[in-house]
Amino acid sequence: MRIAIDVRKLHDFGVGTYVRNLVHWLARLDQESEYVLICRREDCEGVEQLGRNFRPLPDRSANYSVAEQLTVPLDLARVRADLFHAPHYVLPALTPCRSIVTIHDCIHLRFPQYLPSRLAHTYARVSFWIAANRSARVLTVSEASKRDIMRFCPIPEEKIDVIYNAIDDRFSQPPPETQITQVRERYQLHDRFLLYSGNVKPHKNLERLIDAFARLRRHGFEDLKLLITGSEISRYATLRRAVHRYNLHQHVRFLGFLSPETLATLYRLADGFVFPSLYEGFGLPPLEAMASGTPVLTSNVSSLPEVVDDAALLVDPYDPASIADGMRQILCDDALRARLISRGRVRAASFSWEESVNRVLTIYRRVARQS
């Protein structure tokens, strides 16, 4: 069986985490099938190191472009793939073999205002329809996402498989003391702080988080800091304006992109993790914080209650007062903190990439047999 997988988003947030763990575990679990990974030229060497049954196929076309609608089908025809896995919602209409698509969420349909143009929204709607209707199976990462897919693309429920994501092992392993000391000194972490990790796109709701943090500081938490990680801060000037509106420029810090090792250390040093997102297909950062032994506050909407279960404090993400009160509880209620830390570690450990990728592999084989 020759399986082609599009891994051009290997280094992205979100989908990139999924792709990296998918191919890593396929390499460990399946030495019989032949895998052709459609990738960027600079990733060819890394693909070859996965194993003797993995080979790269470089493709220069951009994601979400007209070019990929032509180059990817040509790639698949050239290697005579038996099966193609598109790990996000773009499945070229001319795909010449049976296909599986992973649709992580429907954010571009739920929040079209975040797309750069009306044309981009049209492209997203058409791509979703093709992916859902032309593929043999649709994989998604939560029951909440499954409901959204069926809302926007009315396909049979039994065509969709929910397979959860998981976290990297590094988040459950204590970092060395030298790493902790280096991170403390590098970022001058001498006060209590709350941490947000993820990208900084509008649906992450960081303006309301900053509003809530300002409320919290006015009620006896003057020494508290808020650390926000994530790249592309410069693209969202509204966040900077929110910080200056509340005169928080000494207390809210934007750290930019961090290595996984640094992030794992920050989770352990934080007094709490805050993730008031308006929409998530799954939401890995709360689980990463839980595995690190950090109490978590997150939203009571989308997939987040499903993912965190009873191991996080849920708040209304549309209400800054609710977010502020939740942060106060996380910081002040010792019994709640202990309960969330204990439950969080158990909940994070219940998700397994090995188990999830084994399920994906089973679906590969089932769909290939149907051809």
CA 94/CA 71 separation, integer angstroms: 10
Res 118: pLDDT: 87
Lowest mean pLDDT among 41-45, 120-124, 335-339, 353-357: 120-124
C-alpha 258, offset from chain centre: 15
CA 63/CA 344 separation, integer angstroms: 36
Instruction: Tell me 193's DSSP state.
Output: E
Do the Cβ atoms of 230 and 256 come closer than 8 Å? yes
C-alpha 115, offset from chain centre: 18
Tens of pLDDT, residue by residue over 207-227, are: 999 999 999 999 889 899 999
Do the Cβ atoms of 69 and 50 come closer than 8 Å? no
Answer yes or no: is pLDDT of 232 > 70: no
Q: What integer is the mean pLDDT of 225-250?
A: 84
CA geometry: angle at 289 spanning 284 and 295, to 5°?
Answer: 130
**Reading across the β-sheet that carries 252-256, which strands appear in turn?**
252-256, 225-229, 193-196, 272-275, 296-299, 313-315
The topology under which CATH files domain 169-349 is Rossmann fold (3.40.50)
CA 189/CA 193 separation, integer angstroms: 8
CA 50/CA 181 separation, integer angstroms: 34
Q: Which amino acid is at 26?
A: L
3-class DSSP assignment, residue 324: helix
Res 371: pLDDT: 63
Q: Enter the tokens of residue 64.
A: 């979400």
- Assigned superfamily of 2-166+352-369: Glycogen Phosphorylase B; (3.40.50.2000)
Helices (H) and strands (E) in the chain, counts: 15, 13
Q: Which amino acid is at 334?
A: D
Instruction: Tell me 204's DSSP state.
Output: G
Domain with CATH 3.40.50.2000 in the chain: 2-166+352-369, 169-349
Tens of pLDDT, residue by residue over 133-169, are: 999 999 999 999 999 999 999 899 999 999 999 998 8
Q: Please report how many Cα atoms fall inside a 13 Å half-sphere around the Cα of residue 140, on the Cβ side.
A: 27
Cβ neighbors of 220 (< 8 A, separation 6 or more) are none
Task: Work out the pLDDT band at 234, boundaries 50, 70, 90.
Answer: low
Q: What integer is the mean pLDDT of 72-82?
A: 97
Do the Cβ atoms of 103 and 146 come closer than 8 Å? no
Instruction: Tell me 310's DSSP state.
Output: T
Cβ neighbors of 8 (< 8 A, separation 6 or more) are 38, 39, 40, 59, 63
Residue keyed to tokens 């065509």: 159
Q: Which of 7, 100, 122, 17 is nearest to 54 (CA)?
A: 7
Res 284: pLDDT: 95
Task: Work out the pLDDT band at 239, boundaries 50, 70, 90.
Answer: confident
CA 288/CA 273 separation, integer angstroms: 10
Lowest mean pLDDT among 220-224, 277-281, 307-311, 330-334: 220-224
CA 274/CA 193 separation, integer angstroms: 11
Q: Measure Cα distances from 97 to 1, 43, 77, 197 in Å.
A: 12, 24, 8, 39
Do the Cβ atoms of 326 and 297 come closer than 8 Å? yes
Q: Enter the tokens of residue 167.
A: 């976290």
3-class DSSP assignment, residue 207: helix
CA 125/CA 108 separation, integer angstroms: 8
Q: Secondary structure of the chain: what % helix, strand, coil (to 5)?
A: 50, 15, 35
Do the Cβ atoms of 363 and 166 come closer than 8 Å? no
Instruction: Tell me 117's DSSP state.
Output: -
Query: What pTM did the predictor assign?
Result: 0.93
CA 69/CA 230 separation, integer angstroms: 30
